[in-house]
């Protein structure tokens, strides 16, 4: 269980593209072990925020910390990946020509800490870890199929499994439910809920039913608009917020 302290800390983060401020003094904190949903209208800056956290975009100003001590603004993109921040983009990226289990094995080998610590007794320990992840992502019965043969929802779960094989400190998920059927969406919500407490996650999402399934009654939801946080709290709380209602309905 990792649920103590702060895993992600953003303070007054500003990003300008030309004269336009995509992020405008964005401040936000995610607790270790938390499953945080981030919503907001198009252009709110959600993708730019993810880009700043992963080092794809450098902020003009502000603080970005992983945990208490890792200043992410001083690291480049590959260095940030090594700190244990895993990002999942909207579309699934799996090795289609390889079986499901081999996708997990290949992902595990990208985790240098694990790889270095094992070597000799790799086979059995690796096998156990792959089997555990297959169970978490509910693809046990698909393990020997080619990843390319999976449904869209199964591919999305496999890619999350591949990220989990790297023992991430923080997972960033960009609209993971996009293009899924209702059943696949709910299955994904169950999966992410099971990870709560063992892995810190930030999920950017448009599908409000999915957000409701992730946040439950008490989970914190962050609403972004115009490059900053507009409101934060339970889904019920932010839905009643005047500024939120305005930003969604337009002025």
Q: List Cα–Cα distances, 159 to 87, 101, 173, 244, in angstroms.
A: 10, 11, 11, 32
42 binding ligand ADP? (CB under 6 A) = yes
60 binding ligand ADP? (CB under 6 A) = no
115 binding ligand ADP? (CB under 6 A) = no
88 binding ligand ADP? (CB under 6 A) = no
Contacts of 172 by beta carbon, 8 Å cutoff, 6+ apart: 50, 53, 54, 85, 86, 87, 88, 201, 202, 204
**Cβ atoms of 215 and 223 closer than 8 Å:** no
Tokens of 128: 């156990």
**Given candidates 36, 46, 87, 228, which one binds ligand ADP under the rule CB under 6 A?**
46
153 binding ligand ADP? (CB under 6 A) = no
Largest CA distance in the chain: 64
Tokens of 107: 């992902």
Least CB distance to ligand ADP at residue 181 (A): 24
**Given candidates 3, 17, 240, 246, which one binds ligand ADP under the rule CB under 6 A?**
17
Q: List Cα–Cα distances, 150 to 47, 96, 157, in angstroms.
A: 27, 9, 10
Least CB distance to ligand ADP at residue 180 (A): 19
Least CB distance to ligand ADP at residue 189 (A): 21
**Given candidates 8, 22, 35, 171, which one binds ligand ADP under the rule CB under 6 A?**
22
161 binding ligand ADP? (CB under 6 A) = no
Size of the site for ligand ADP (CB under 6 A): 11
Binding site for ligand ADP (CB under 6 A): 17, 20, 22, 40, 42-48
């Amino acid at each position: 269980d990792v649920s103590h302290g702060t895993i992600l800390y953003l303070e007054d983060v500003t990003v300008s593209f030309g004269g336009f401020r995509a992020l405008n003094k964005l401040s936000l904190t995610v607790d270790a072990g938390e499953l945080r949903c981030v919503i907001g209208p198009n252009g709110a800056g959600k993708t730019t925020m993810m880009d700043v956290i992963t080092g794809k975009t450098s902020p003009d100003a502000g603080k970005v910390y992983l945990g208490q001590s890792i200043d992410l603004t001083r690291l480049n993109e590959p260095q940030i990946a090594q700190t244990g921040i895993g990002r999942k983009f909207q579309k699934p990226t799996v090795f289609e020509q390889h079986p499901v289990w081999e996708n997990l094995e290949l992902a595990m080998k990208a985790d240098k800490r694990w790889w270095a610590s094992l070597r000799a007794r790799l086979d059995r320990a690796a096998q156990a870890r792959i089997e555990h992840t297959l169970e978490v992502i509910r693809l046990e019965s698909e393990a020997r199929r080619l990843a390319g043969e999976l449904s869209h929802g199964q591919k999305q779960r496999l890619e999350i499994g591949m990220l989990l094989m790297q023992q991430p400190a923080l997972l960033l998920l960009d609209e993971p439910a996009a293009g899924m059927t209702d059943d696949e969406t709910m299955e994904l919500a169950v999966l992410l809920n099971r990870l709560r407490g063992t892995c810190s996650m930030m999920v950017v999402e448009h599908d409000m039913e999915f957000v409701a399934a992730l946040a439950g009654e008490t989970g914190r939801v962050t609403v972004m608009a115009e490059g900053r946080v507009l409101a934060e709290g339970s889904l019920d709380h932010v839905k009643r917020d005047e500024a939120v209602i305005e930003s969604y309905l337009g002025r």
